[in-house]
Structure 1
Amino acid sequence: MQDVVVVGAGPTGLWLAGELRLGGASVTVLEAREERDSNSKALTIHPRTIEVFDCRGVAEPFLAEGIRIPNGHFGGLPDRMDFSALDTPFPFTLALPQARTEELLEDRALRMGVVLRRGCEVVGLTGNGVELSDGSVVAARYVVGCDGTRSTVRAAAGIDFPGTDATTWGWLGDVVLDAPPERGFAGVTGVDGGLMVVALPGGLHRIVGGDPVTNRAEWPGDLTLEELRATVTRIAGTDFGLRDPRWLSRFGNATRQAATYRAGTVLLAGDAAHMHFPTGGVGMNVGIQDAHNLGWKLAAVATGRADDALLDTYHGERHPVGADLLRHTRAQTALMTGYTPEGQALRAVVSELIASAPDMSLVLAERLSGLDVAYSTGRRVPDQVLPGGDTLFSRLRGGGHVETTAGLVRPDGHLAG
């Protein structure tokens, strides 16, 4: 019997599996897909997530391959938040396709001894693990659902997922551009909609946006290349010479959060715990940070080093973070879909405030980047040089607590209570 079965081999599940192994727990990851999805929903890695990677000594490949973006947007507003003011060694976001992020995290998990089984569809829970579609059972003391917004684990555990259905739809295309914008990036917004163009590794660009035509509750249908070209031209005055789509997709603003992140021996993390419009590219980051909070706790409980009650602090600390995530993505969605004259006026006023009020810009940047998260036990501790010359982040790579002048720092980089 394994200590933990993790259902889902996305970024959240893979990071959690590695954290559990670091803490000494035995782990099997079950993934329904036979192969990794080559299409990447997530693209952005935020500063706090880079810190998390650095605290485990795995940041270098991400820093080497990702495209650094020194600022961020709030609700697609034209005036962007300057990340250089952030108190972090990594004052930027990284643009890196999710498929590559998963590849790097999977490599780490396998090196640490995680068992990864693909082509294993979980259909339910048993008294001591999970049941697969072939009728077999994988036994484990704990089960963690990292299996996305349609989580089988969440449903089988009877955990409610309240929220609201989609009222608007965004779209994206990973395409080749014959006439890309300067520096590979562009943002355009107006009464006809808004879009952003971001360069991807491998010569592709992602065009992502929304428009009044799809600002409705009904599913608009699958996105076609012809529709994408016409919509981009209507918004930007050019189609940037887009062709040869690698991936075309739509996404809605349905917004939900699990009523509890723990039900006995079953826990949830990432998209299984919260779903939202992908404003600011924060979803994958919050999922990895869920896993970072849960991993050391579940490993300590599973290996007998901590009382079971420690797992209750996972919900207590991360559920409010998820609720705040939903609140902010809803606010950004309202700004992004403000196509009316009144909405455009609101966008202009808020954008001007970001440009003219550095304190406001900094607060929004800290929230978007994940650096402002604090728990009742204590805040995130920035990197610092410790006696002996090494740094806090390098000392945390062993997965244990670290004593500093600020106090005892937990394995996830927050002050202990």
Structure 2
Amino acid sequence: MHDVVIVGAGPVGLFLACELGLAGCSVLVLEREPEPGSPWRADPLGMRGLSAGSVEAFHRRGMLHPLLAASGLHDAPGPDPDADEPSPPGGVGHFAGLVLDPAKVDLAALPYRLPGPAADGVLTHLAAVEAVLSERASRLGVEIRRGVTVSALAQDDDGVVARAGEHTYPARWLVGCDGGRSAVRGLAGFEFVGTEPLFTGYVMLAALADPDVLRPGINLTPTGLYLRMPAEGHLGVMDFDGGAFDRSQQPTRDHLQTVLRRVSGTAVTLNDVSLASSFTDRAMQTTTYRLGHVLLAGDAAHIHSPVGRQGLNLGIGDAMNLGWKLAATVLGHAPDGLLDTYTRERHPVGASVLAWTRAQAVVMRPDPHGQAIQAVVRDLLGTRDGTTHVFEKVSGSSIRYDLGSDQPLTGRSAPDLRLDDGTRLGELLRDGRGVTLDFSSGHRLREAAKDRRTHLRYVAGAARNDLGLGAVLIRPDGVVAWAAGHDVDPKGFEQAADQWFGTPRT
């Protein structure tokens, strides 16, 4: 019996497998597809934007440089990570097709943004992400079996058994990371609720008879939206038909050409379509992320339109949040209720992303109401406050879990604080343990932290920019569990450490 069976070897399942393997759990990943390679996962069709929050997750586990190399990048784009002061971000994306101006991001409104190798997002592709995670998972002893389709589940108080054909796979826990059409979600009986679509979207790789007819980049039109990507023939279209296209059918060249002509307002001709797929903005979410010994993460727990490039980032956030909590539960040192905080923290984040994508669909709607809203949003995005708000959303920096504290940093992803010796917080998190940073000269937390050293690293010393803090307790996922000013109270630290890491054994 394995500690954990993960269904789905995409980025979310693989990232979660790495987290569990890092903690010493026995992990089996079951993947339906027999081979990892697919043109939908490679450049250009597999291109994805990783937000700063996701890049930070790779940095904290020592996988950022391999990811950059696999993506054809030498360094993360953006400001100098060795600078003393934060710099304006690089490209900050768009909202409903309205491209944002990074110069309008108000850095003064982002007090916890520090320079570092993970300060900005990265453009990569799924094949690169999965290759890096697969290699890491293998080194950590994770077993991956491909060509396995899970067809049944059964669970009791002791664990869960997955069935695929004549084979069974028993585990103490099972996590469905098997995408928007998740088999695990249905087999385990999760309730899936949400809203129906406004549009059908299409992605294609096509040969154009007259490519210059279509403008490059994102183009909002009176009838929808189309995108002409940098790669030759890589196109996207959104047709506001109420999601009427039958997704069980493959879109034909004639259908795609008709839709593209109507949305673009041109007489563009598709000579050939080598690959094409459709999607909608249907937005659904399970009411909980856990039923007994079965959990969900990524698209298995929530689906929405790809507008704004939130899906992969949301899933990586799920995996980072769940991994250490499930590992602590498996290994027997989790405090009471720790695993329940997974749904409590991540469900609101997922709901917020669904609302974010719904709002963008309404803004793009090609009718007088949608165009009126679009004009208002365009004006708002012309302001520093408007652009900064959207940047916080798309970068992940606005996420804050409610941990019951008024301290403004608690519940947020910790800034990549840098000690005087040059060590960054991200480097201290690579072994998957929590970290206590003690900037107080008297090392007042040393005694309180020493009995927790198995699961919590203690580091004392000055920081190049301590943000006015005297000490910080950071969970293994990089979230601040407790923070104090220069007047450090060890009792507050002990309470937070007990909550997240359990009471030390005597």
Matched, 1:39 2:35: no
Give the Cα separation in 1 of the matches to 2:23 and 2:166.
Answer: 31
What is the CA-CA distance between 1:242 and the residue it aligns to?
Answer: 6.3
Q: Provide the secondary structure at the position in 2 that maps to 1:278.
A: coil
Query: Which of 222, 231, 237 lines up with 1:209 in the alignment?
Result: 237
Structure 1 gap ranges (5+)? none
Q: Provide the secondary structure at the position in 2 that maps to 1:219.
A: coil
Determine which structure has greater relative contact order: mean sequence separation of CA pairs < 8 Å that are 6+ residues apart, divided by chain length.
Answer: 1
Matched, 1:224 2:252: yes
Q: Provide the secondary structure at the position in 2 that maps to 1:368.
A: helix
1:105 maps to 133
What is the CA-CA distance between 1:94 and the residue it aligns to?
Answer: 2.8
Residue identity in the other structure for 2:28: T
Q: Provide the secondary structure at the position in 2 that maps to 1:199.
A: coil
How big is each residue's C-alpha offset from its partner over 1:18-62, in whole Å with a ceiling of 9 and x where there is no partner? 000111111000011111243136622111101111111111233
2:18 maps to 18
What is the CA-CA distance between 1:121 and the residue it aligns to?
Answer: 1.1
What is the CA-CA distance between 1:373 and the residue it aligns to?
Answer: 1.0
Larger helix fraction of residues: 1
2:85 maps to none
Query: Which of 253, 257, 261 lines up with 2:281 in the alignment?
Result: 253
Structure 2 gap ranges (5+)? 78-89, 404-410, 438-469, 482-495, 497-506
Query: Which of 225, 230, 255 lines up with 1:194 in the alignment?
Result: 225
Query: Which of 441, 466, 477 lines up with 1:412 in the alignment?
Result: 477
What pairs with 1:126-141 in structure 2 (closer than 5 Å)? 126-127=154-155, 128-141=159-172
1:365 maps to 391
Residue identity in the other structure for 1:364: V
Give the Cα separation in 2 of the matches to 1:93 and 1:267.
Answer: 28
Query: Which of 98, 106, 111 lines up with 1:77 in the alignment?
Result: 98
Cα contact 1:191–1:341 (8 A) shared by 2: no
What is the CA-CA distance between 1:294 and the residue it aligns to?
Answer: 0.4
Cα contact 1:5–1:129 (8 A) shared by 2: no
Matched, 1:153 2:184: yes
Q: Provide the secondary structure at the position in 1 that maps to 2:97.
A: coil
What pairs with 1:283-294 in structure 2 (closer than 5 Å)? 283-294=311-322
Give the Cα separation in 2 of the matches to 1:83 and 1:300.
Answer: 43
Give the Cα separation in 2 of the matches to 1:276 and 1:42.
Answer: 18
Give the Cα separation in 2 of the matches to 1:144 and 1:294.
Answer: 10
Give the Cα separation in 1 of the matches to 2:207 and 2:417.
Answer: 43
Which deviates more, 310-319 or 371-380?
371-380
Q: TM-score normalized by structure 2?
A: 0.74
Cα contact 1:70–1:82 (8 A) shared by 2: no
Give the Cα separation in 2 of the matches to 1:240 and 1:385.
Answer: 53
Change (3 A) 1:279 1:31: same
What pairs with 1:18-417 in structure 2 (closer than 5 Å)? 18-36=18-36, 37-40=38-41, 43-64=48-69, 65=71, 70-80=91-101, 85=107, 87=113, 89=116, 90=118, 92-127=120-155, 128-175=159-206, 186-200=217-231, 204=232, 206-212=234-240, 214-217=241-244, 219=246, 222-236=250-264, 245-307=273-335, 309-336=337-364, 338-355=365-382, 357-377=383-403, 378-404=411-437, 405-416=470-481, 417=496
Cα contact 1:79–1:351 (8 A) shared by 2: no
Cα contact 1:22–1:399 (8 A) shared by 2: yes
Give the Cα separation in 2 of the matches to 1:179 and 1:218.
Answer: 26
Give the Cα separation in 2 of the matches to 1:82 and 1:18.
Answer: 37
Q: Provide the secondary structure at the position in 2 that maps to 1:71.
A: coil
Which deviates more, 103-112 or 225-234?
225-234
Residue identity in the other structure for 1:8: G
What is the CA-CA distance between 1:235 and the residue it aligns to?
Answer: 4.3
Cα contact 2:151–2:165 (8 A) shared by 1: no
Change (3 A) 1:167 1:189: closer
What is the CA-CA distance between 1:232 and the residue it aligns to?
Answer: 3.6
How big is each residue's C-alpha offset from its partner over 1:280-325, in whole Å with a ceiling of 9 and x where there is no partner? 1110110011000000111111112214621001111101111111
How big is each residue's C-alpha offset from its partner over 1:239-295, in whole Å with a ceiling of 9 and x where there is no partner? 888665442111012211111111121111001111111111110110011000000
Give the Cα separation in 1 of the matches to 2:100 and 2:389.
Answer: 15
Cα contact 1:81–1:354 (8 A) shared by 2: no
> Size of the alignment, in residue pairs?
410
What is the CA-CA distance between 1:223 and the residue it aligns to?
Answer: 2.3
2:503 maps to none
Bigger Rg, structure 1 or 2: 2
Which deviates more, 149-158 or 268-277?
149-158
What is the CA-CA distance between 1:328 and the residue it aligns to?
Answer: 0.8
Residue identity in the other structure for 2:57: V
Give the Cα separation in 2 of the matches to 1:83 and 1:45.
Answer: 21
Aligned Cα root-mean-square deviation (Å) = 2.7
What is the CA-CA distance between 1:158 and the residue it aligns to?
Answer: 1.8
Give the Cα separation in 1 of the matches to 2:57 and 2:480.
Answer: 15
Give the Cα separation in 1 of the matches to 2:60 and 2:268.
Answer: 40
2:490 maps to none
Give the Cα separation in 2 of the matches to 1:265 and 1:38.
Answer: 35
Taking only the aligned residue pairs, the percentage that are identical comes to: 40
Give the Cα separation in 1 of the matches to 2:286 and 2:477.
Answer: 23
